[in-house]
A and B are shown apart, each in its own frame.
Chain A
Amino acid sequence: MRNALGAVRSVLVLGGRSEIGLAIAERLVRDGARAVALAVRGGRAPEAAARLREAGAAEVHELEFDADAPASHAAVLARAAGLLGDLDVVVAAFGHLGDQAALEADPVAAAASAHTNLTGHVSAGLAAAARLREQGHGVLVVLSSMAGVRVRRANFVYGAAKAGLDGFAQGLDDALYGSGARVMIVRPGYVRTKMSAHVPAAPFAATPRQVADAVADGLRLGWRYVWVPSVLRSVAAVFRVLPRSVWRRLRR
């Protein structure tokens, strides 16, 4: 159960090797979460599990999860619920950034990337929402991105998938209204991780830990959108109204 101040007992991370997903889980453990399940491709994430145990988690489970296999997602959620009991927070953290130039040159790889970043989230998100609705409470934390607020030339394959995901998450939250469950949409800008190391940092870059702290604040205060850093909310407002001729020329 989530308590009045946003602390929870159990956390499921879909994409348990994601540095951001892991940082969120670690923060929630430090705030009192006892049980975490890491759903990862291959079913093993010993380093991540060790880190969470060190942070104070009493139980850490690792289970197989393939974001690209939508048919398996309901079963993954059922297995996680079998291990954890109620799913207080589900973090949908999996994703693929890729190299824009390479993706543009390889349509098949680009489609695969979009499949992970959008289609995978659609099936996993719906499966998670069904569980949360049934248990009458819980938060699905969806890692969207500033890149999806207005899609940019510099990363439009990734950005388009995130824009789709963001829209999906908003609709899902509306669908869950009154069910006790809800969706929290996280929109970080550039986050310094291994996944993003090959991309030059954008202004207002954040660390996974800053994302985790913002998510914890959001859980406590019941936010629907979490911007990291929070100034991005204002930046996004500007982005949305920039004329196309200027927008097209943005380098990053």
Chain B
Amino acid sequence: MREDAGAGRRVLLSGWGRTAPTAARLARPRDLAELAELVARAPERGVIARGLGRSYGDAAQCAGGLVLDCADLDPGFRVDAAAGTVTASAGTSLDTLLRELVPRGWFPPVVPGTRHVTVGGAIAADIHGKNHHADSSFGAHLRSYTVVTGTGEVRTLRPGDGAPFWAGVGGMGLTGVITEAVVALRPVETAWMRVDTDRTPDLDATLDLMARTDGDYHHTVAWVDLLAAGARTGRSVVTRGHHAVRDDLPVRARRDPLRFAPRVLGAAPGWAPPGLLNRWTVRAFNTAWYARAPQRRRDEITPASGFFHPLDAVRGWNRLYGPRGLVQYQFAVPFGAEPVLRRVVERLSAARAASFLAVLKRFGPGTPGPLSFPQPGWTLALDLPAELSGLPVLLDTFDRWVADAGGRVYLAKDSRMHPELPARMYPRLDEWRAVRAEVDPAGVFRSDLARRLDLVGGGGSR
């Protein structure tokens, strides 16, 4: 039987965590008309857009349905220097944006822990960065975005449009396929950061340092050693910085201050044995990382790529977790819920769970997106091997603490939450569902995440 050329070929897809793969047809529309046509003729099991596959779980999968890769759409790349904005197609990666924008003296308003996400994904997950406390999330810097709705209509939405605009910001692609966006930029003088680094002995000291000094820095983040126990529980390396100005740079770098040249050290091997990252190897790594960091260093001038995206230096690092993959757990709790944060860190430390790269950050005000993750308070993100025994119970316990404290789990990271939880964690879920029902009355936009968590209503069974 001949396959419909436009409907794509069947492939197995999983998220960055490489857990729970499912099969779908993958199509790469070449232009907007083809994209709208694919949406209009969506298969019964639904359609979802996929960018670079950096969501950890199943947000960009649609088992038995259609997955759209928008990388072939016209990049439509335009910088408007007067307005301080960039127009880019949804499939444009932040890596491309940085390489294009930084030499021209502009920086994306928000960059997450990797450059390898797309503009479309950045909107759909309403991503945040180390500057959230100062600048909020990606959605706050959108002038507009264009979307193909469930009826195949092409709409350009602006913040002034209210609910339909915000439903897509953090909407995990379930309100339509984003095709293009206009994003406000930050002018920069250099491609460098001026960074202060401090080592803190325990969690209290970490929280205290961040709470006291967050306001003084544009970007802050803490890396927490979750394997340190006893009096050292929660010891961290806190880095805080600003975009460096030209005069900050050493003389040599001043000649070409906007040179943006991220280093790639190499790629992780294609296969790693199960259990490679265990409590001993990770503890050794964490200890070395902590020991290597200076006790206190001021005004270090460092390339922006290394400051924002240290992990991008190793391509495919997720493969180090072996064939069973990894689970990332990221939650946010409001200020005042520090005891929950402390209990989570203590429990992980006591369980000696092999987590490296736990990232702690303070959130500022969020956006009006009903499903947008950031809310004022603390957020902690950690990676765990999926094969870890006792993991389901451990994370279910954390979910309960987080939900009880008025907090939430990040949908772009989730791969294992219970379906009762999103309604508690995102109290405006029904409001979002109502908007979705208007823009996608037939419910064509569906993902494995939506099915698993019953985000779109109807029992999540189909």
Contact A5 B391, beta carbon cutoff 8 Å: yes
Which of chain A's residues 128-180 have a Cβ closer than 8 Å to chain B?
A: 133-137, 178-180
11 contacts between A and B (CB under 8 A): A1-B460, A3-B452, A5-B391, A84-B461, A86-B451, A86-B461, A136-B63, A137-B63, A178-B23, A221-B387, A222-B324
**Docked complex Cα distance between A181 and B12 (Å):** 10
Q: Are B327 and A10 in contact (CB under 8 A)?
A: no
Is the CB–CB distance between B64 and A1 below 8 Å? no
> Contact check: which of A5, A136, A137 meets B416 at CB < 8 Å?
A5
Known: A1-B63, A5-B327, A35-B461. A178 touches B12 (CB 8 A): yes
**Bound: A245/B259 CA distance, A:** 78
Instruction: Judge whether B296 is part of the interface by a CB distance below 8 angstroms.
Output: no
Which residues of chain B are near A115, meaning CB under 8 Å? none
Q: Which of A3, A35, A85, A135 has the most CB of B within 10 A?
A: A3
Query: Residue A31 at the B interface, CB < 8 A?
Result: yes
Q: In the complex, what distance in Å separates the CA atom of A10 from the CA atom of B452?
A: 11
Count of chain B residues with a beta carbon within 8 Å of a chain A beta carbon: 37
Q: Is A7 an interface residue when CB atoms closer than 8 A count as contact? A: yes
Q: What is the interface of chain B, defined by CB distance below 8 A to chain A?
A: 10, 12, 17, 19-24, 45, 57-58, 62-65, 323-325, 327, 386-387, 391-392, 395, 415-419, 448, 451-452, 459-462
Would B452 and A1 count as touching, CB distance under 8 A? yes
What CA separation (Å) do A133 and B58 show in the bound complex?
A: 18
Chain A residues within an 8 Å CB radius of B324: 221-222
- Report if A17 contacts B (CB, 8 A): no
5 interchain residue pairs of minimum CB distance? A85-B461, A180-B23, A136-B64, A136-B63, A4-B19
- Asked if residues B23 and A5 are in contact (CB atoms below 8 Å), the reply is no
A134 touches B451 (CB 8 A): no
- 8 Å CB contact of B45 from A1, A2, A136, A181: A136
B416-A135 in contact (CB<8A): no
**In the complex, are the beta carbons of A4 and B327 less than 8 A apart?**
yes
Which residue of A6, A7, A85, A86 has the most chain B CB atoms within 10 A of its CB atom? Answer: A86
Assess whether A9 is interfacial by the CB under 8 Å rule. Answer: yes
Any B CB within 8 A of the CB of A32: yes
User: Given A10-B461, A86-B461, A135 and B64 touching (CB < 8 A)?
Assistant: yes
Residues of chain B contacted by A35 (CB below 8 angstroms): 461
Contact A4 B20 (CB under 8 A): yes
Q: Which of A32, A34, A134, A220 contacts B64 (CB 8 A)?
A: A134
Q: Give the contacting residue for A137; candidates B22, B387, B419; CB below 8 A.
A: B22
B462 engages A85 (CB within 8 Å): yes
User: Could you tell me if B461 and A3 are in contact, using CB atoms closer than 8 angstroms?
Assistant: no
| Bound Cα distance A86, B17 (Å) | 23
Residue of A with least CB distance to B328: A4
Q: How far is the CA of A109 from the CA of B171 in the complex (A)?
A: 60
Complex contacts, A9 vs chain B, CB 8 Å: 419, 452, 460-461
Residue picked from B17, B395, B416, B417, most chain A C-beta under 10 Å: B416
